């Protein structure tokens, strides 16, 4: 039986225009971003967060927008000295799998360093949900995409933050803390779903969610390939579990 929350458990807070658009604390989209893609994402998802069902969501990127562009060569920019993203993935996954992920967002073989900004790289999340996703507090595991590409099923897993500090030594045989059945992690981080009777219930680890679209051609669902990559990377973030891990602004121009 679902535990019910009062409708005022998470009071609504007025948000600026900037916050109701696609905004990430780690990577803002420049002003020349095709805003139409954000509109399509929200239209596809019924202008509600796909997890909490609250209205006025943000169009959150699965693959960061700033990584679709050529990396800066300015040595004063932090991102210019970061290891190459795709090269780093090769430490953990096969070349074939990495290439499948890369081809999804960088489809033009003639311009392999120019990514595309499309609806399939966006997912509607409330600002609170988006923030928790960016912090690696939960991960979404893609399960199944229907043959007609109109239905996508994913599974949510909370990730229990560790109490490690940067520089801590951890035995590789240490088993991560299970999140089975949890509806809250850390110092009170949780998500609540808006029910049809306007009450709220906690979202538990292991719950499945179904995303739908009426038009898979013009309003495609989030990419299975990009969600798979995001799932694996989010799990790595959860395994790190370092308290106070620094946020990287990745040349965030804050526009």
Alpha-carbon separation of residue 184 from 17, 41, 106 (angstroms): 29, 28, 36
Task: Please report, in tens digits, the pLDDT of each residue of the chain (255 residues total).
Answer: 444 444 344 433 333 333 334 444 344 444 344 678 999 999 999 999 999 999 999 999 998 887 776 555 555 554 444 457 878 888 888 889 889 998 998 888 888 777 888 999 999 999 999 999 988 899 999 999 999 999 999 999 998 877 667 677 777 677 777 888 889 898 889 999 988 888 899 999 999 999 999 999 999 999 999 999 999 988 877 766 544 444 433 433 333
Q: Dig out the tokens for 251 from the structure.
A: 């040349």
In the prediction, which pLDDT does 83 show?
53
Q: What is the pLDDT of residue 1?
A: 43
Q: What distance in Å separates the CA atoms of residue 136 and residue 241, rounded to the nearest whole number?
A: 9
- Which residues fall within 8 angstroms of residue 10, CB to CB, at 6 or more apart? 128, 192, 200
What tokens does 7 get?
A: 């409708």
The contacts of residue 210 (CB under 8 Å, 6+ apart) are 151, 152, 153
For 165, counting Cβ atoms within 10 Å of its Cβ (0-12 exposed, 13-18 middle, 19+ buried), the class is exposed
């Amino acid at each position: 039986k679902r535990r019910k929350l009062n409708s005022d458990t998470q009071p609504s807070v007025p948000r600026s225009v900037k916050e109701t658009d696609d905004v990430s604390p780690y990577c803002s989209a420049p002003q020349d971003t095709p805003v139409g893609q954000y509109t399509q994402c929200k239209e596809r998802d019924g202008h509600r967060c796909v997890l909490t069902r609250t209205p006025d969501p943000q169009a959150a990127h699965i693959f960061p927008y700033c990584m679709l562009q050529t990396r800066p060569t300015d040595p004063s920019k932090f991102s210019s000295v970061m290891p190459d993203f795709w090269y780093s993935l090769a430490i953990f996954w096969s070349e074939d799998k990495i290439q499948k992920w890369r081809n999804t967002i960088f489809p033009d073989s003639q311009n392999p360093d120019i990514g595309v900004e499309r609806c399939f790289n966006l997912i509607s999340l409330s600002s609170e949900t988006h923030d928790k996703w960016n912090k690696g507090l939960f991960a979404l595991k893609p399960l199944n995409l229907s043959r007609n590409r109109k239905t996508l099923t994913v599974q949510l897993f909370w990730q229990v933050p560790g109490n490690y500090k940067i520089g801590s030594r951890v035995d590789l045989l240490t088993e991560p803390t299970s999140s089975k059945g949890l509806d809250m992690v850390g110092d009170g981080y949780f998500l609540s779903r808006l029910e049809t009777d306007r009450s709220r219930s906690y979202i538990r680890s292991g719950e499945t969610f179904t995303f739908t679209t009426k038009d898979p051609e013009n309003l495609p669902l989030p990419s299975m390939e990009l969600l798979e990559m995001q799932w694996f990377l989010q799990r790595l973030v959860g395994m790190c579990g370092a308290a106070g891990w620094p946020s990287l602004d990745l040349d965030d121009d804050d526009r």
